[in-house]
Chain A
Amino acid sequence: MSQQVSGKKILEVKDLVVKFGGVTALDSVNLHVSEGEIAALIGPNGAGKTTVFNIVTGYYTPASGSVTVEGNAMIGLRPYKIARSGLARTFQNIRLFGDMTALENVATAADALNKSGLVGSLFGVPRSRRDEKRSMEKAHELLTFIGLDHRAGQLSRNLPYGDQRRLEIARALALEPKVLLLDEPAAGFNPQEKVELGELIKRIRDRGHAVLLIEHDMSLVMKISDRVSVLDFGKKIAEGTPSEIQNNQRVIDAYLGVAEDAS
């Protein structure tokens, strides 16, 4: 049994319905992430996991349903506003700003929380100088946190694969998210790197960010998650602690399929 989390709900997704043309991608999905929690979202390919992220971060608008962060409605807000209100994400296929350095990648996200504008930057007013310093210090701090500060000045597209994945996490953390959304962070990792990633995700939780994790690597999910939700064909078919999920017959059927004669 993993630890019991009794924090208040930060991210709440209610009755989410998403349709692409005639296809119902998500059908009345309910999810939540509580304070100090590592929640996981699993399901077979095409179940709608990444669609949940795209809705929550404002890229698509759902047919119906609500998304709230600490009670504030997110549906209809532009993605950059949602990012500033506490939801930051990474991407299944790495999407760094390739021609920018590792430091600049993180600083770009850190800038988003600064209020100083373009005219201030042009004339170097004190507030803009302070903000610039803050962004740079924060970027260095986060690069140190993920163990990449020695590569701060390198272009992100020249970094090794594993460093790119972690840099994406650092970039998202620069937005000081209440909930960090990780989309398959362990994809392409070897077993050792997966263990390290698990540790990193726990350290992120300990910094005060709740985590919502999409992941196919079951050993990682089962080891670090407090609660697991399972999607299949756009519907949530199960939710519970890792051990409950591992023994849930519907989940086993969704992953392994049901024999013709058994149904």
Chain B
Amino acid sequence: MPDLSRFNLRDRFGDWWDKASPIQRGFTRVFVISLFYALPLINNPVIDTPETSFQSVLFYPLAMFSLMAVGLNVVVGKSGILDLGYVAFFAIGAYTYAMFALKTSLIFWEILPLAMGFAMLAGVILGLPALRLRGDYLAIITLGFGEIVRIVAINTEAIGGAAGLTSIPGPPAFLGYEFTVMDPRPYYWLTLTLLALVIWGVLRLSHRKPGRAWEAIREDEDVAEFMGVSTLKYKLWAFIIGGAVGGAAGAVYASQIRSIQPEMFTLNLSIMILACVVFGGMGNIWGVILGAVLLGYLPEKLRFLSETRIIFFGLLMVVMMNIRPNGLLPRKKREVVGEKK
């Protein structure tokens, strides 16, 4: 039996990628991206989900979880800050979109940056005091923050209270695609586009000064500070970026679901997204997406087991984490031995 704990897809693929010509690389990129855009058009009984529309599963949870997991990964995977209240940013994005869409004449494309902005602001407000703490203490503060946002939403009548907000308008048509309640595909394509932009940004940052600063903080925060890294600044940036992505996800979600209630934004969702990050491979953007896709997909695929499916789902996670404790695709830097050209 091959040693599953040592098999590393990244090395196999990475070697090929390093040797590939620019044309091969460009071709691969276009092919993979088109494949993902084409997914809702494929009608395949093997990947199809029973009892739910595969197209809507693609939007939520798959694309939504992936987007949020990539955002949370900047905080948890890159910088090593355990954030148990990520749902707060998702909620802030959703509520910002809903309130502006209901009370003003602004359209989706104008509110999306606002929703991200509000979530970023929340990141600063939470981060400035909280990021002076570390480890467990910081995790507990983020946990509390997630709960506070939900409870404030329940108790604030101006934003709908416990009943939430309903009849939220969707985005206007774009390139001939109507964003309707019935058709989840345009929302999937929208989320996929956002996801691609976020991946592009995070990968750029990862390979440059901010990425090194985050990694140094994750490895040893004290030493990072001794080596001239402003740890508070970079941890705050991680929070802000994670917040912006969560806020964008919330806005898209609210625009599709059309009615939101505080009870949609519970600790469970924070834990679920964190599980995607840990299950997939903390710190590796591709692993995190794989984790999100699997953890989103499996409960839907296992629907034929009805009530017991969550038990099977849990069992599967326990087994997987035993076989690959660092996640499906762990963060692993490819070492270059000898002179680098």
Residues of A bordering B, CB below 8 Å:
57, 59, 78-80, 83-84, 88-89, 91, 95, 97-101, 104, 107-109, 111-114, 116, 118, 121-122, 124, 128, 131-132, 135, 149-155, 158, 171-172, 174-175
A100 touches B216 (CB 8 A): yes
A154 proximity list for chain B (CB < 8 A): 335-337
B205 touches A118 (CB 8 A): yes
* Contacts known (A108-B213, A132-B208); A59 close to B222, Cβ less than 8 A: yes
- Asked if B210 is an interface residue, CB under 8 A from chain A, the answer is yes
Please indicate which of the listed interface residues A111, A151, A158 has the most CB atoms of chain B within 10 Å of its own CB: A111
* Contacts known (A95-B220, A97-B220, A153-B340); A112 close to B335, Cβ less than 8 A: no
Interface of B is mostly: helix
B335 proximity list for chain A (CB < 8 A): 101, 153-155, 158
The A-B contact count (CB < 8 A) is: 114
In the complex, A91 Cα to B220 Cα: how many Å? 12
Q: Can you report 27 A-B residue pairs in the complex whose CB atoms are below 8 A from each other?
A: A79-B225, A80-B227, A83-B227, A83-B228, A88-B226, A91-B223, A97-B223, A97-B224, A99-B215, A100-B215, A100-B216, A100-B219, A100-B333, A104-B212, A107-B212, A108-B215, A112-B227, A113-B228, A114-B209, A118-B210, A121-B209, A122-B201, A122-B204, A132-B208, A154-B337, A155-B335, A172-B227
- Asked if B338 is an interface residue, CB under 8 A from chain A, the answer is yes
B333 touches A175 (CB 8 A): no
* Contacts known (A154-B337, A155-B333); A57 close to B208, Cβ less than 8 A: no
Please indicate which of the listed interface residues B226, B237, B336, B337 has the most CB atoms of chain A within 10 Å of its own CB: B226
B228 touches A57 (CB 8 A): no
B228 touches A152 (CB 8 A): no
* Contacts known (A111-B209, A111-B213); A99 close to B219, Cβ less than 8 A: yes
In the complex, A114 Cα to B336 Cα: how many Å? 26
- Asked if B322 is an interface residue, CB under 8 A from chain A, the answer is no
In the complex, A84 Cα to B340 Cα: how many Å? 30
In the complex, A166 Cα to B83 Cα: how many Å? 36
B227 touches A175 (CB 8 A): yes
The smallest C-beta distance from A159 to any residue of chain B, in angstroms, reads 11
Q: What 4 A-B pairs are tightest by C-beta distance, nearest first?
A: A112-B228, A153-B336, A97-B219, A83-B228
A97 proximity list for chain B (CB < 8 A): 215-216, 219-220, 223-224
B204 proximity list for chain A (CB < 8 A): 121-122, 124
Which residue of the partner chain B has the closest CB to A112? B228
A104 proximity list for chain B (CB < 8 A): 212, 215
- Asked if B96 is an interface residue, CB under 8 A from chain A, the answer is no
In the complex, A30 Cα to B337 Cα: how many Å? 46
A152 touches B230 (CB 8 A): no
Partner of B227 from A109, A116, A153 at Cβ < 8 Å: A109
- Asked if B271 is an interface residue, CB under 8 A from chain A, the answer is no
Which residue of the partner chain A has the closest CB to B232? A78
In the complex, A174 Cα to B337 Cα: how many Å? 23
The smallest C-beta distance from B37 to any residue of chain A, in angstroms, reads 24
In the complex, A250 Cα to B84 Cα: how many Å? 57
Type the 1/0 row for B178-203, where 1 means its CB is closer than 8 Å to any CB of A: 00000000000000000000000100
A116 touches B209 (CB 8 A): yes
A158 proximity list for chain B (CB < 8 A): 335
A171 proximity list for chain B (CB < 8 A): 227
B337 touches A108 (CB 8 A): no
- Asked if B73 is an interface residue, CB under 8 A from chain A, the answer is no
In the complex, A199 Cα to B23 Cα: how many Å? 50
The smallest C-beta distance from B79 to any residue of chain A, in angstroms, reads 12
A88 touches B209 (CB 8 A): no
In the complex, A111 Cα to B207 Cα: how many Å? 13
Which residue of the partner chain B has the closest CB to A91? B223
In the complex, A111 Cα to B337 Cα: how many Å? 24
